[in-house]
Amino acid sequence: MAELPTLPYAYDALEPVISEQIMKLHHQKHHQAYVDKLNAALEQAPNLADKSVEWLVKHLDEVPESIRPAVRNQGGGHLNHSFFWQCMTPGGSVLEDGALKSDLEAKYGSLDEFYEQFTTNATALFGSGWCWLMPDLSTVTTSNQDNPLTETGTMPILGLDVWEHAYYLDYLNKRDEYISKWWQVVDWAAAATRYKG
């Protein structure tokens, strides 16, 4: 059984970047719905009951076709949001000197250039989806609730939800403004811990 994880901070802790209203809806309604619908789908495949959501998303081809779309969308939604909450922390955390910082600077020329490329990709994504920083430090986007884990076999080290439900109440149609503010709450220390170099 998939379960809604507890948010690692208060609902209002990411204000003013992300409002309490959005965080409550996003966690209690949207994320809860992914969990509930994933569990409903898995009732039809008892042999998968003990599998983690990471395993399911990574091995979609081993999931029965009858529930594969549900596991892809609802399982992906559960995995992505569980990860997203871990990518943020109140007030953000600094990207300290270390492998992640120096490798980002080497790959992009500067951190500012990295921010710009990530923001450009996230802004340009058509429709609903996510923008990710991968372990090879490339930035990629996925549609809907797909996670790069399915295609590449590896989890990202950072991810941004660019579905309208993630920002519309605070930023209306200004996705670029949401993305530029989002860096203020990114938990870079956690991303650095995930990065193996």
Q: Which residues bind Mn ion (CB under 5 A)?
A: 161, 163, 166
In the complex, the smallest distance separating the C-beta of residue 17 from Mn ion, rounded to whole angstroms, is 15
**Residue 184 CB-half CA count within 13 A:** 12
Q: How far is the CB of 77 from Mn ion (least distance, A)?
A: 7
Whichever of 23 and 166 has its CB closer to Mn ion, that residue is: 166
User: What residue is closest to Mn ion based on CB?
Assistant: 161
Nearer to Mn ion, 35 or 104 (CB): 35
Least Å distance, CB 166 to Mn ion, is 5
User: What is the nearest approach in angstroms of Mn ion to the Cβ of residue 145?
Assistant: 8
Please state the closest distance from residue 165 (CB atom) to Mn ion, in A.
5
Backbone angles phi and psi of 129, in degrees to 5: 170, -160
Nearer to Mn ion, 18 or 133 (CB): 18
Q: Select 84 or 114, whichever has its Cβ closest to Mn ion.
A: 84
> Is the separation of the CB atoms in 104 and 195 below 8 Å?
no
32 vs 93, beta carbon nearer Mn ion = 32
